[in-house]
Structure 1
Amino acid sequence: MLPIRLTFALFGMFWGTWAVSAFDIQRFLGLSESQLGLLVAATVAGTTVSNVIGGTLAERRGAQRAIVIALAVWGPLVVVVALLPTPGPWMVGFLAVVAAGGLLDVIVNIASAGMLVGRPGRLLQVHASYNGGAVVGAAVAGLALAVDDDLWRLPWALVGGSAVVLAVVVARRPGWVPAVTTGDHVTLRDAASELRRSGLLRLAVVFTFGAAVEGGIGTFGVLYLRDRLDVAVLAGAGAYVAGQGLATITRSVLGRTDQRVAGTRAAKAGLLLAATGLALEAATDIPAVAAIGLAVAAIGVATYWPLLSAVANGASDRPGLAVGGVSAAGYLGFLLGPVVVGAVADGFGLR
C-alpha cells in the first residue's frame, strides 16, 4: 500500500501547487478567468482517454507495472513544463501533463479500490495521502511565491523529480503492489457499456458533478482570495493548507469506521458540505470568513471520490474497467468545473 500512498501524495502535491499558484500562472499566460478555465478544459479529451487506457493497462500489465509506467511518463513531463519559459509551449506541455496525470490517477484508484474491496473506510484513509500531499505542495508553493512570483515553477520541478525517483524505486520492488484482474483490450465504448451493465451510469453522473465542484475549488478557490479580496499569497495558501489539512483528518477519522462508512450517503453529505463552504466564501467580503468557507469546501470534497470509487469497484465483476469509467467521468467534471466558473466570472464576476 505504501507505493500507492506515495503516488497519491505526489499527485496531491501537484494539484496543491496549482491551487496556490494559479493566480501567478494566469498572469504569466496573460489569460482571463474564462480563458484559464478553457485551458484546463482543453485537457478533457486527453484525460478521458487516458483514464480508460489506465484501466486497461492496470488489468493487462498489472497495477505495479502500470504505476511505474505512468510515473515514468508523468514525472519528466512535469519537470519539462516547469522549465518552459514562454506561454505557448507551456500551455501545450500543461495539456500533456494533465493527460498523463489522468493516466496515473486512474491506475492508483483501481489498485487501491481493488485491494480494499468492501472496506470503504480504509480507502478513505489511503486517499487522505492525496490531501496530505496537497498540504505540502500548497505550503511549498506559498513559501516560494512569498520570496518571488516566478518561483511557482520550483514546486513543480520537485514533484516531477520525485515522481521519477518513485518510479525507479517501485520498479525495483517486484510484488510491492498486488495484481489487478486480467482483461482484454477495451475502448471508451467498452467502459461506458460496463457502467451501463453494472447500473453505474447514475453514479458516474454524480461523480462528474462532484468533481466539477472540486475542480472549481482547485483552480479558483485561492485565486479568488488573492485576486478579488487582495489576500496575501501566504494567507491564501494558508487557507488552502488549512482546508486540505482538515480534509486529511476527515478522511483519516472516517476511515477508522471502515465498514460503517455508507458510501453514497457519506459522499452526498460531503458534496452538500462543499456547496455550503463555497456559498460562504462567495457571500462575504471578509477575507477570514471567505478562507473558512474555502476550508469547509475542501473538507466536503474529501469524501466523495474514494467512497464512490469503492461503490463502483464492488458493483462490477470488472473493477478495473468500472473504476476507470467512473474516474474518467470524474476527471471530466474536474476539468470542466473551472470552465463553468471561469465563464461565469467573466460575465458576472468571480463571486
Structure 2
Amino acid sequence: MPLRNKIRSRPRPADSSPQSRSTTPATDSPWGPARIALTAFFAVDGFLFAAWVVRIPDVRSQVSATHSALGLALLCLSAGAVLTMPVVGRLCVRYGSRPVTVGSLALLSLAVPLPAHAHSVLSLGCVLLLFGAGYGGANVAMNSAAVDLVAQLRRPVMPSFHAGYSLGGLLGAGLGGLLADRLTTAWALALGGLLGLAVTAGAGVVLLRSPAAGVAPGATPARPVEGAADGPPEGTAGRPARGHARLLVLLLGLTALCTAYGEGAVADWATLHLTDDVHAGAGTAAAGYAAYAFAMTSGRVGGTWLSIRLGQTRLMLCGGLAAAVGMLVAAAAPAVPVAIGGFVLVGLGLANLFPLAIARAGATGGPQDVALASTLGYGGMLVGPVVIGFLADAAGLPLALTTVALTATAAALLPLAVGRR
C-alpha cells in the first residue's frame, strides 16, 4: 500500500471529532429547566422539614414527652434517613438520580402529615422512621443529581441548590409562625404535604423530561469545578487513587457529620430553647428559627461567589468558627434578641459547610460517594437528638447546645486535612 494511502487510512484522533469533545451548547443556560426544577426540589424539601420543625413543641405536648423521650423519637427520624441513604445511592447508580429524586420527595410529602396523628412517643417514633426515609432518600438523590448538573454547567453552583433548601426552610418557618395560632398541627402539616406533592409533580415532569444536556453525544462529561480556588478538583487528570479517594470522602463525610449535628440541633431544639429557656412566645420562637433559616439562605446565595474568591477550605474554616461563636452566644443569651442574633451567626457560619463537603465527595466518586458522605453526615443528626436530649435533662438545654460549638470547630478544621491531602 502506498505511504499516502496509509496516512489517509489512519483513524482520526478521538478528540478531533466534534462528537467526542465535551462541549457546552450555546443554548444551555446556567438557569435552564433542569436546574430550576432541581432547585424547586431542594426548596420543597426545606419547606417540608421546616413545617415539621416549627410544630415540634406542639407534637411534644401532644405525646407528653420529656426532653430525653423526644430525643429518642427524633432519633428515629435520623435513623430512617441513615438506613435509607446507602440504598438510595445504589438506586441512583442503577436508575439515575432524577427519577429517585422524584420518588423520594413524593414519599416525604406523604409522610409529613403523620406526626400530627401520633399520640405516644412510640407511635411518633414509628412515623418519623418513614419521614426520615423520605428525607434521607431525597437528600442523597438530589445531591447526586446536583453534582451531575454542576459538572455539566462547569460552574461551582452547588451552594445555590442548598440556598433553595434554606429558602424553602425560611418560607416554611415563616408561614408556620404566622399560622401557629390559626391552624392546628394536623391541618398545617396536611397542607404542607399537599403542597409538596404538587411541587413534586410539576418539577418532576420538568426534571425527567430535561435531557442531561451540556455534553455532546458520546462525550464524557467534565467533572465539577468545585474547589478550583483550592487546586485541581477531584475527578480531573489528577484524580486520586481509589483508596486515597475513599479517605478523602471519609474526611469530608466527617465534616458533614459535624455540620449536620449543628443543623439538626438548631432544627430540633432552637424553638424549644427560645420558648423554655428564653421565654419567647410560640410565634417569636418560630420567627427565631426563620431568622436562622434566612441567614443560612443568604450565606448559601453568596456561597458560589465566596468559594471562588476565598477558596473552599478557607470559606469552610471561617464558617465553622463563626458558627461556634454564634452557638455559644445563643446558648448563653439572657434575652430573646441576643439569642436570635446568635442563631443568625450559626446560620451564616454553617451555610456552606455541608454543600461543599458533599459536592467535593460527589466529584471524587459520584452517587455512591455522595451516599457515603451523606450517611456519615446525617449520622450527626442520628447522634445529636439523643446527646442533646439526655444532656438537657441532666444539665439543662443551654449547656447541651454548647456541644454544637465543639462540632462546628471540628467542621472548620477537618477541611484543612482534606486540603493538605
Match of 1:327 among 367, 374, 377: 374
Q: Secondary structure at the match of 2:397?
A: coil
> TM-score, structure 1 length as denominator?
0.87
Per the alignment, residue 137 of structure 2 pairs with 103
Per the alignment, residue 5 of structure 2 pairs with none
Instruction: Tell me if structure 2 keeps the 8 A contact 1:264–1:308.
Output: no
After superposition, the C-alpha distances for 1:211-268 in whole angstroms (9 at most, x for unaligned) are 1111111111121001112101121111221221122122112323563352233223
**CA–CA distance in structure 2, aligned partners of residues 52 and 143 of structure 1:** 38
**CA–CA distance in structure 2, aligned partners of residues 23 and 265 of structure 1:** 37
After TM superposition, list the pairs within 5 Å mapping 1:231-270 onto structure 2: 231-257=280-306, 259-260=308-309, 262-270=311-319
| CA-CA distance at 1:163 after TM superposition | 2.5
**CA–CA distance in structure 2, aligned partners of residues 177 and 137 of structure 1:** 31
Q: Which shows bigger deviation, 302-311 or 332-341?
A: 332-341
Instruction: Tell me if structure 2 keeps the 8 A contact 1:121–1:261.
Output: no
| CA-CA distance at 1:275 after TM superposition | 1.4
Match of 1:123 among 158, 172, 193: 158
After superposition, the C-alpha distances for 1:157-211 in whole angstroms (9 at most, x for unaligned) are 22321222233324534433639x9xxxxxxxxxxx9786353222212221121
Asked whether 1:216 is paired with 2:278, we answer no
Instruction: Tell me if structure 2 keeps the 8 A contact 1:195–1:322.
Output: no
Per the alignment, residue 139 of structure 1 pairs with 174
**CA–CA distance in structure 2, aligned partners of residues 33 and 82 of structure 1:** 17
Instruction: Tell me if structure 1 keeps the 8 A contact 2:180–2:282.
Output: yes
Instruction: Tell me if structure 1 keeps the 8 A contact 2:76–2:125.
Output: no
| CA-CA distance at 1:321 after TM superposition | 0.7
Q: Secondary structure at the match of 2:248?
A: coil
Q: Secondary structure at the match of 1:86?
A: coil
Asked whether 1:228 is paired with 2:261, we answer no
CA distance change for structure 1 residues 215 and 171 in 2, over 3 Å: closer, same or farther? Answer: closer
| CA-CA distance at 1:85 after TM superposition | 5.1
> TM-score, structure 2 length as denominator?
0.74
Q: Secondary structure at the match of 1:42?
A: helix
**CA–CA distance in structure 1, aligned partners of residues 70 and 243 of structure 2:** 34
Instruction: Tell me if structure 1 keeps the 8 A contact 2:45–2:105.
Output: no
Q: Which amino acid aligns with 2:324?
A: A
Instruction: Tell me if structure 2 keeps the 8 A contact 1:273–1:300.
Output: yes
Q: Secondary structure at the match of 1:146?
A: coil
CA RMSD of aligned residues (A): 2.5
After TM superposition, list the pairs within 5 Å mapping 1:39-188 onto structure 2: 39-79=73-113, 81-82=114-115, 84=117, 86-87=119-120, 88-117=122-151, 121-147=156-182, 151-173=184-206, 174-176=208-210, 178=212
* Bigger Rg, structure 1 or 2: 2
Match of 2:391 among 319, 344, 347: 344
CA distance change for structure 1 residues 86 and 73 in 2, over 3 Å: closer, same or farther? Answer: same
Per the alignment, residue 68 of structure 2 pairs with 34
User: Which structure has the higher relative contact order (CA within 8 Å, separation 6+)?
Assistant: 1
Equivalent pairs counted in the alignment come to: 336
Per the alignment, residue 50 of structure 2 pairs with 16
Q: Which amino acid aligns with 2:84?
A: S
Instruction: Tell me if structure 2 keeps the 8 A contact 1:47–1:100.
Output: yes
| CA-CA distance at 1:293 after TM superposition | 0.8
Q: Which amino acid aligns with 1:138?
A: A
**CA–CA distance in structure 2, aligned partners of residues 177 and 100 of structure 1:** 25
**CA–CA distance in structure 1, aligned partners of residues 93 and 362 of structure 2:** 13
Q: Which amino acid aligns with 1:345?
A: A
Instruction: Tell me if structure 2 keeps the 8 A contact 1:274–1:296.
Output: yes
| CA-CA distance at 1:324 after TM superposition | 1.0
**CA–CA distance in structure 2, aligned partners of residues 32 and 120 of structure 1:** 47
Q: Secondary structure at the match of 2:51?
A: helix
Q: Which runs of 5+ in 2 are unaligned?
A: 1-34, 214-219, 221-241, 399-421
**CA–CA distance in structure 2, aligned partners of residues 93 and 323 of structure 1:** 26
Identity of aligned residues (%): 26
CA distance change for structure 1 residues 23 and 6 in 2, over 3 Å: closer, same or farther? Answer: same
Match of 2:355 among 283, 306, 310: 306
After superposition, the C-alpha distances for 1:113-136 in whole angstroms (9 at most, x for unaligned) are 221149674111121011111111
**CA–CA distance in structure 2, aligned partners of residues 194 and 172 of structure 1:** 39
Q: Which amino acid aligns with 1:140?
A: L
CA distance change for structure 1 residues 177 and 56 in 2, over 3 Å: closer, same or farther? Answer: farther
Q: Which shows bigger deviation, 249-258 or 220-229?
A: 249-258
CA distance change for structure 1 residues 226 and 198 in 2, over 3 Å: closer, same or farther? Answer: same
